[in-house]
Each structure stands twice: as C-alpha cells, then as structure tokens.
C-alpha cells in the first residue's frame, strides 16, 4: 500500500501524517511531497525519518493513493498525471469539487457512491463537511427547505501564514499579513475572494457543495463566512427550515444516533460546542438546539468541528480507508 502525501509540510499535510499513524492505516511505503525548496528535508513517520521528494519522483513510484493538500493549482496540474499511472487521488482543494464528473465525498453520507472508476475524489470544504454531517440525518427525516448560516472560522483555515500573523499581533511583533486587516482582537467578514455576486468563494462553496453531497437541489443555502481570532476549529450558527415539523427531543435523538456527530446541548450546565473542546477531535459537535419562534418548522443549531481534522485530513483518510475496505483501488 504505497501512499503519497502531496503538501506534506503544510498544516493539513502534517495532520494527515499524524492520522495515518494514529488510525494505523496500512501504509507499506510513504512518499512525502512538498515544494521544491523542501525537497531533501526530512519528516518523521512512525519514528522513522523520511526524505521529502519532488512530485515527479512520486509519480514515477506509482502510488496506490495520493492525498493532495497543496492548493488548487497543484491539484489541477498534477492530479491527472497521477491518475495516468493508475493512482487514485483524494484532493483537498476546491478545483474538482463541483466538477460534474467527480464525486464529492463525506464517507458517512455518500461513500457508497464510489466505484473503481473514480480516480479523482474531491474532499469537501471544511465548513461544508461539518454542516452536512449535522444536517444529513435531519434532511432525511424532515426534508430541508432553506438554510441560513453564519460561520466563525479560525485562522488555521487560511494556513500557517495566518496563524503567524495572529501570533505576531498577539505579541506585538511584525509578521507577514495573510489578511488585509489585523485579526487579533478583530473579526473579518471575509473568507476567500469576493465573487461578482458580492458573496465570497467560501460562501458559495457552502451554498453549492451540500446540494451535491446530499444529491438534492430542492433546498437552498445562504451563508456569511467570517474569520475570527481563534487558532483552530470552525463554528457555525445555523438556521434550518424543514418541510416537516419536528420536536426537539426527536432532533436530539437523531443527532445522538448519527455516527461521527456528538450532541453537546444542556443550557443548565452551560454545555455547548466550542472550538476549544473540539481541538484534535474527529467528531462534529452540535448544540444550542432551539426552535426558531419566528417561523414554523425551523430549527436553530450551533455546529463546531476541528477544521484540520474532520474538516480536511480525517475526511480524506476516511475516504482512503473506505476505498481499501471495499477493494475499490
């Protein structure tokens, strides 16, 4: 089981390496790929030093799976070249997600759609994954009509440069700017680039990706994506209107029974999801469940997850595990 990790030195790449070890994925040979300036440097996997290699060398090695976390341009250029040598690519960038010929996979929801013919598999946006993990079982029961959400996204979602900016601002030292404004003690209503319609690219991902994952375009989503000065973990305030009425007890039971989702919902004990509690965990946490008293059949909920784990690396590894388990490679 020869595995390549493209973008091994990045924030998501390093978590992928950790998870391959933690989850005891059956790796027989691990190929670590990063930018040209990193080639020859070493990373450790299972206490063994491995040299970073060039992407061309990784293709020649013909890995069974290549997990990409190196940005859209790299994925667009190199993912097809891996498939030409028989490799199955799991891609964390956004470039393949809305391609009608590529599957967009959250394993708990739609892994069963995968076949041996799927050689490039898209990993959804981090905020999308935690949203659909909580909404999918409720959609099945009550049928979603419309979702309105606001995100509270940590700087780690932008990358190491953003984390360094915030840490530098906290210490009052100069740092390279990842954002157009200070993020320390600030909130920036701007995730990704603005589109012609006034929404950001991140907000449009949240509008479109859940429809593809749930294979249903009958509902609509509108989002405001906001960057907040936390180092890890994304949060979402979600208002969801259903066709069918519900009780809060029913909703709590459904969430409790959903694999990969944990209910944290007790106002009397101040129990609710927070990024601090979700750190380094693979679950999606749901709480602050309450009826929207302003209209019928509508639920308010608060969803939190570690964006580097279930929002990226864990989901990608789970896809790989499914491919191995179902012998789809």
d(CA 94, CA 122): 8
Q: Is 223 left (phi over 0), alpha (psi -120 to 50) or beta?
A: beta
CB contact burial 3-17 (16+ within 10 A = b; e otherwise): bbbbbbbbbbbbbbb
d(CA 114, CA 177): 40
Tokens representing 289?
């469940």
d(CA 151, CA 191): 10
Q: Residue 239's beta-bridge partner residues? A: 148, 300
Q: Is 234 a catalytic residue?
A: yes
Q: Is 190 a catalytic residue?
A: no
Tokens representing 92?
């964390």
Three-state secondary structure of 102-114: CEECCHHHHHHHC
> Residues 183, 161: contact at Cβ < 8 Å?
no
Residue indicated by tokens 């693979």: 282
d(CA 326, CA 136): 23
> Residues 192, 268: contact at Cβ < 8 Å?
no
Give me the catalytic one of 126, 139, 190, 279: 126
d(CA 322, CA 11): 24
Task: Name residues whose C-beta falls within 8 Å of residue 117's C-beta, 6 or more positions apart in sequence.
Answer: none
Give me the catalytic one of 190, 191, 234, 279: 234
Active site residues: 126, 234
């Amino acid at each position: 089981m020869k595995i390549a990790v493209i973008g091994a030195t990045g924030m998501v790449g390093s978590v992928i390496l950790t998870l391959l070890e933690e989850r005891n994925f059956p790796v027989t040979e691990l190929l670590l790929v990063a930018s040209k300036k990193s080639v020859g440097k070493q990373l450790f996997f299972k206490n063994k030093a491995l040299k970073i290699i060039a992407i061309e060398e990784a293709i020649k090695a013909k890995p069974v799976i290549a997990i990409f976390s190196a940005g859209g341009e790299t994925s667009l250029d190199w993912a097809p070249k891996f498939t030409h040598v028989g490799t199955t690519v799991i891609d964390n960038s956004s470039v393949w997600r809305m391609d009608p010929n590529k599957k967009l996979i959250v394993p708990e929801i739609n892994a069963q759609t995968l076949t041996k013919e799927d050689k490039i598999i898209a990993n959804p946006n981090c905020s999308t994954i935690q949203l659909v993990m909580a909404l999918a079982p409720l959609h099945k029961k009550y049928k979603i009509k419309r979702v309105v959400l606001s995100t509270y996204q940590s700087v780690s979602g932008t990358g190491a440069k953003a984390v360094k900016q915030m840490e530098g601002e906290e210490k009052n030292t100069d740092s390279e700017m990842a954002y157009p404004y200070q993020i320390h003690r600030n909130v920036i209503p701007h995730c990704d680039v603005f589109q012609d319609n006034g929404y950001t690219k991140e907000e449009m991902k949240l509008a479109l990706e859940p429809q593809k994952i749930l294979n249903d375009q009958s509902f609509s989503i509108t989002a405001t994506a906001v960057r907040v000065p936390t180092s890890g973990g994304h949060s979402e305030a979600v208002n969801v209107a259903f066709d069918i009425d519900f009780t809060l007890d029913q909703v709590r039971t459904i969430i409790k029974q959903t694999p990969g989702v944990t209910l944290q919902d007790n106002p009397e004990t101040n129990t609710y999801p927070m990024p601090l509690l979700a750190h380094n965990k693979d679950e999606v946490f749901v709480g602050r469940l309450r009826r929207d008293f302003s209209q019928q059949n509508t639920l308010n909920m608060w969803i939190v997850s570690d964006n580097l784990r279930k929002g990226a690396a864990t989901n990608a590894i789970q896809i790989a595990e499914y491919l191995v388990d179902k012998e789809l490679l």
